[in-house]
Chain A
């Protein structure tokens, strides 16, 4: 984790330079190579931290969290030499902002394994307010009693509204509230990239 924190700090040092460039419609901060490297690193960090992959359950939060979870599971299978499958955990019914918008369609929930006594690693694309993770923790609570829950995210953009932090971070990305972080993954979009859009110049 020390290594990743240093790497993250080194990354953030570059941000002010790019922020002075004229405001484009969207600024790409990670390309497909960067995303691939970050996921490989997260995979190894998860394995290092937990030692035993047998007690691990990877759960992605739809939609892009599931894609990331599958990619991490594929890398983990390679390293461990056995097939590890990732699941999906839909948190729509547990959201605290359901009443603010019309009813949303539900995503697919798929739990590959019994989660009792396991270490569950939740995987999402962007960590922002922390409310999604709060909802995910509530959802997990009703599915069983994991030994521990860890959180892996590709982007941590700050602005937490709840006391929640990520255990594994692809990239820390300081943003203003006016900006939007767009994660694109080949499974649901065209190509892999992370971009920042909008915000004041």
Chain B
């Protein structure tokens, strides 16, 4: 197993399936009378959040606490970062306090890599979203949710499943991690977005791209709607919100054209009425709330696999065992 989780591309197929299998077992902990395992007792996990987050931070916090780790929450607002403290000095401070894992969300792409590679912290670094780059645990929980609905009893992969990802691909770290992980797990990914919201170089991604949502619905096993990230938009990418939702929004009419087994996903937070209508968001085939539940189990699995075993010396030699 790897030491840090910086990118969904760090996981090979064995590691990815291992995380998902572990999460499958850990999901049962949530239904027990005592929702706690003693595994990470005495370990300290720091939530280092430079950017706002509801789901991811709470999810990581709940995951770490269910494994009995001590959790320190750090948000840039109200800390010395607002006095101008650098990422390096913040990291060195956390290291001095003995953090075994740092879960970092940062508005700059690559900040977790910098933190891990510069060795400012000895603990494991887990990327919880960096700029428009990656969000590997979201991809893992998405794959986990798809696997539970679409690939029961298989070899644990998503071989041959068709996943359609729709929306603001340009600003989405979720889509980048999902594309990497879904490719590792053998799924076919179709990306649907207006031309202005497709990044440069998307032709080199292992995906099919399309500008037409209606054409990609009939064969989709899962449809993942992405949030239109207005806070990252410094230009007009589409004429109006109404036009966007008419061409790229998921409404009941489009939902009815999906195959009967298909599921609707959204990484959250949703803009109801923009990329997804309220009817679809609350529809029985929408697994959006379930994704959040699964997120805790997947993050427990990641924390357990990164922190639960021996320190790095043995894990690097036997890591592939």
Contacts and interface: CB of A to CB of B under 8 A. Distances in A.
B314 A109 contact: no
Q: What 3 pairs across the A-B complex have the smallest Cβ distances?
A: A103-B309, A102-B309, A106-B25
A99 B32 contact: no
A106 B26 contact: yes
Nearest to A106: B25
Contacts, number: 59
Interface stretch (B36-44, B55-63, B86-94, B260-268): B36-44
A76 B297 CA distance: 36
Interface string A97-119: 01111111111110000000000
Name the residue among A105, A106, A107, A143 with the largest chain B CB count within 10 angstroms.
A106
Contacts of B309: 98-99, 101-104
B32 A143 contact: yes
Given A98-B39, A143-B32, A108 B314 contact: no
Interface string A35-69: 00000000000000000000000000000000000
A93 B315 contact: no
Given A143-B32, A144-B33, A102 B26 contact: no
5 contacts: A93-B37, A93-B67, A93-B304, A101-B309, A103-B1
B147 interface: no
Contacts of A93: 37-39, 67, 304, 308
A105 B21 CA distance: 8
A103 B36 contact: no
B161 to A, nearest CB: 24
Contacts of B310: 99-102
A108 B311 CA distance: 25
Nearest to B67: A93
Given A94-B38, A102-B309, A107 B25 contact: yes
A142 to B, nearest CB: 4
B39 A143 contact: no
Contacts of A98: 39, 308-309
Interface residues of A, number: 19
Contacts of A125: none
A32 interface: no
B39 A101 contact: no
A109 B319 CA distance: 25
Interface in B83-114: none
A102 B306 CA distance: 9
Nearest to A116: B33
A138 interface: yes
Given A93-B38, A99-B310, A106 B22 contact: yes
A102 to B, nearest CB: 4
B33 A143 contact: yes
Contacts of A100: 310
B38 A102 contact: no
B13 interface: no
Contact of A142 (B26, B32, B311): B32
Contacts of B33: 142-144
A45 B318 CA distance: 43
Given A101-B314, A102-B318, A142-B34, A109 B28 contact: yes
